[in-house]
Amino acid sequence: MGTMLALMVFASLSDRVGRRPLLAAAVLAAATSTALFLLADDVGTLLAARFLCGLGTGVFTATGTAALGELAGAKNTRRVSTVSTAANMGGLGLGTVAAGLFAQYGVDPAHLVFWVYLAGLVPAFLAVIVTPETVTARRRLAVSVRRPTVPGRRERRTEFLRAGTAVLAAFAVSGLFSSLVPSFLREQLHVHNVAAVGAEVGLLFIVALIAQVAAPERWVSGRWPAPAFLVAGVAVFEAGLRTRSLPTFAAGTLLAGTGIGLAFRRGVGVTQRLADPRRRADLLSTYFLFAYTGTLVPTLALELLDQTINQDVATLILAVAVAVAATPLANALSRRTAAPA
């Protein structure tokens, strides 16, 4: 919830006061959150730490992506979308794998992972300090809950909403997958090695990273490849759940990860291109609201459905819902409303 609040209130402030102050504040919020995790001895402190972590994440994603676009320039939109996707997907994949390794093999793993993360924030803070400020026309600070911003012109708004819906479906797949992997490996396949569980979850994001870097340009710029891979991935890893087959589940991971990487990279490119330069972080905040809504909904829905029906049935319902959400994005395979991202 901290991430959602940050995207609705704080992330777009960098359009007014500059990128560096918001990025520095996000690093400090992450450092404070990490310190609270290290010191926590009750649920309240853990919740406060998680909330601050979410605030930092929300500001990082929108403000950092906006700064990348401005530093690279309008002619390098594709490069920006690649770097942004690599940072997001690479961080998610590396973090999951590293946490699994620390939990399985590290000394005092409940604290080690946070000490390592805290150390990693030091070069991040230094990077923010030396990065040039890209917002030259500063305005008065005004904090308020913002309505999600969309482009004004109809054809541009349609293109943006397609990109936003695509990333919502993509992150819904990742949320569903991340919720299912630990219980599937532990209860169905009797895999109790935490490092192996972390590697399987991280594989989804690592594949997404590889896909957005190595995929042919026509896959990245087209509207149909991402939803096609997402639907196929959901179908295959659902089949793996039903047959209790790890190879089938892993194949679904490869397909879904490819769809996630393609959807995210294309969406960042579209958003950067359509954004008003004076309100770039504002539109990017809306884009990331789509993404994090997609992550949140399957996790909450699975918890609620598990209370009333069998988990296999709940999983199937969610898988079908995610596939239906992704399918409309594959319409008009050969039509285009705008130039490729």
Is 80 exceeded by the pLDDT of residue 77?
no
What is the pLDDT averaged over residues 232-253? 87
Please indicate, yes or no, if residue 170 is contained in any of the structural domains: yes
Which of the four pLDDT bands, split at 50, 70 and 90, describes residue 331? very low
Angle between helix axes 43-72 and 246-274 (nearest 10 degrees) is 50
| Residue 187 half-sphere exposure toward CB, CA atoms < 13 A | 8
Regarding predicted confidence, which is higher, 175 or 318?
175
| pLDDT band for position 301 (cuts 50, 70, 90) | confident
Lowest mean pLDDT among 121-130, 232-241, 325-334: 325-334
Does residue 219 lie in a domain region? yes
337: pLDDT strictly greater than 80: no
Q: pLDDT-derived band of residue 123, with 50, 70 and 90 as boundaries?
A: very high
Does the pLDDT of residue 154 top 80, yes or no? yes
- Looking up residue 238, the CATH number of its domain turns out to be 1.20.1250.20
Q: Is residue 143 part of a domain?
A: no
Higher pLDDT, 141 or 105: 105
* pLDDT for res 334: 34
Average pLDDT, integer, range 240-264: 88
Averaged pLDDT for residues 239-243: 86
Would you list the DSSP string of 176-216? Answer: HHHHHHHHIIIIIS----HHHHHHHHHHHHHHHHHHHHHS-
Domain that holds residue 252: 2-133+152-327
Residue 138 domain flag: no
Q: Exposed, middle or buried: residue 141 (CB in 10 Å: 0-12, 13-18, 19+)? A: exposed
Residue 166's Cβ-count burial label (10 Å; 0-12, 13-18, 19+) is buried
Q: What confidence score (pLDDT) does residue 338 get?
A: 41
Q: Would you say residue 92 has pLDDT above 60?
A: yes
Sequence-ordered list of residues with C-beta below 8 angstroms from that of 228, at least 6 positions apart, any chain: 259, 330
Decide if 185 is inside a domain. yes
Supply the mean pLDDT for the chain. 83
Nearest CA among 2, 7, 288 for reference residue 147: 7
Residue 281's pLDDT is 84
Domain contains 337: no
Asked whether residue 131 carries a pLDDT value surpassing 60, the answer given is: yes
Helix and strand numbers, DSSP H then E, in the chain: 13, 0
Asked if residue 302 is part of any domain, the answer here is yes
Rounded Cα distance between 271 and 288, Å, is 10
Share of the chain above pLDDT 90, in %: 15
pLDDT band at 150 (very low <50, low <70, confident <90, very high): confident
Domain count, the chain: 1
